Structure 1
Amino acid sequence: MDGAKSKNYPFIITPIKKIVGNRLPSKREVLGYFLYFPNVNKKTISVSASMCATHLIEIWSKTNILIKHTCHIVTRIKKLHTKWMNVNKNKNRISTTQNNDEAAFVESLNYLFDISLANALNSDLSKEEKDFLVTQREMDCSRTVIPNFKKVIPKNTRSNNKKVIEFKELERRTGKKLESLSSTDDSSHNTSHSEFECDIEKPTTSKTRLKIMTPHLTSALDRTNVSNRNATYILAAILTNSDTEIKDVSISKDTIRRARISDRKIISEEILNLFKPHCTLMVTLGLHSDGKMLPSDKKYVVDRLAVIVSVDGNTKLLGVP
């Protein structure tokens, strides 16, 4: 116990507000900057890792070295934090394994937190930049300063600039053509305008597909307890044997589902409209009741009473109490 109380903890990290200096940060600096957000600003782990990754990208942008995507940088920061948490959790344990883990982790903290691509050395870097990256990966980076590299425009940026220039040139030519059209007389204007329209492709409108879902079909599918997916198979088989092309008919699962919902509303409204006895006249309503074996909420069948009313040859189910 005395040895545990007097044990040193060199892996304890102090939160730092900002990574200072003109050098690529080490794992200790990244971990300290990351811990500043949850410990001081009370941010979540995910938000803290994202903010730390943004600052790392700003630092590495001083070089021409290709770096990983932001999501992969965030993952590496979280892994470093998890490893530190595991070592810190067992700091009071006295064992050879714990001592070796602590020594290896403390030694790794002084090395570079590398976010460069694995094939960064195969990219279009100068010899000085490649030597700098190799040195950073192999030795302690606490005293290595970032050299003043010549800033290189990425290839994708060059292509984007080229596209912008081409678009502006096309816009300029189109503007001149429109000005020439407006300056001509009516006859030449009509001719030039028609020629100009020929150069522009007219948008093609998609062919409207046929809808075969009807309230009667919806009622039949509901009575037979056919699902939307199975209804797609059935309708596709029927259309295959008919003269109608399947590609010209809308029979997707979602289309059938929306059509059945709409048709059920139509059927419900028709039922309500049909069953409207004239209240101003003396109308005799017939009340019927009969026992039915129906399933209950507890997954077994019970005897329930169905109440039905009839008038003018029409019947209406009032409820099953």
Structure 2
Amino acid sequence: MQKSRIIKKITALHKEWKSLQKNATRRTDRQAHLEASFKNTFDDLFDVAHADAIKIIKIQEDRDFLILQRQKGRPGSLSSVRDKKLHGKESRRTKREQKETKRKTKVQEMPPSCASSRDVHSSESDSEDNNEQQGKADEAEHVFVETVDTVEQNSKRRRGCTNVLSSNLVATIDTSKISVRKSTAVVSATASALNVDVNSINVYKSSLHRARTKLRKQNAEKVKEKFQENLLQSGTKLICHFDGKKMKIGNTVQERLPVVVTGYNIEEQLLGAPRLDNGTGEVVASAVFQALESWNLTDKVESTCTDTTSSMTGCDKGACVILERKLNRDLLYAACRHHVFEVILKGVFEVTVAVSCGPEIP
């Protein structure tokens, strides 16, 4: 079998098919005859054998098979090639059936008394064989179970259960931006440096991840409770600051909305930085309202501090207007408060320091 012969054969068939396809719209007798002849070749042998294959093949049976396959209709088949393993199984099964048939025939030909004693003896021997086989099977199963138990006991390592994570440690790991996988290495190395058995502490990746998630939630609840206590003691009203910011999260850049509240005699508090699908006023107002609602501050906010873009301070679809609708009350706009402070400082600077009109300030 040569590659060039195969390519030539396939190319010739393709050309013939393209020629028939080109004239497919013709309904002449010649066209119909050509199409029928081409379809009849589908059942013929796709012969890519060597030109001298008949001379090269040494086994007469294979040579005869190739000759038959090249004929019209491809008489013959490969069913004569038998599986040796299957043939062996069938032969043994046939022999067993023949022996069983002979035994039954002999039993039927015996007198009744001999036949009954023969059956009793046969049943006893069969019962003994079955009991012996069952005993061997039970013994093998018992040995297997003992082996499995021994392997499991030897291979099973004691899992450390001492929890070493605390709120301060989790906060330090999060502040340092250490991943969960790297934090396991840090904790293990620290324990080894302090002469603590690493096998006795819980330093598994999944356990550390669950512990960090749980402690973060607990810390967040503590921060909320402390802020609520301070707010209740001061009794002050709050100003809500929010503005969009693009942040790099992994390999992507996302639009985030930091929401911060400030008030008299109270420290500023970050409520969250939710992700925004877009920067429309409706989306921004919904994100701010959800942040205030999660901290139970919807009745404490009296003012908003944002920039003066149309999406924030628009008269109809601005975020501040929509937030007022959600809160069912009016808010004081303190837009661009930092820019107002800059204007005041600019006036103070112009009064106290000489103004320079040149490109360089002396």
Please, what TM-score do these two structures have when normalized by structure 1? 0.40
Q: Which has the higher helix share?
A: 2
Q: Which has the larger radius of gyration?
A: 2
Larger relative contact order (CA 8 Å, sep ≥ 6) = 1
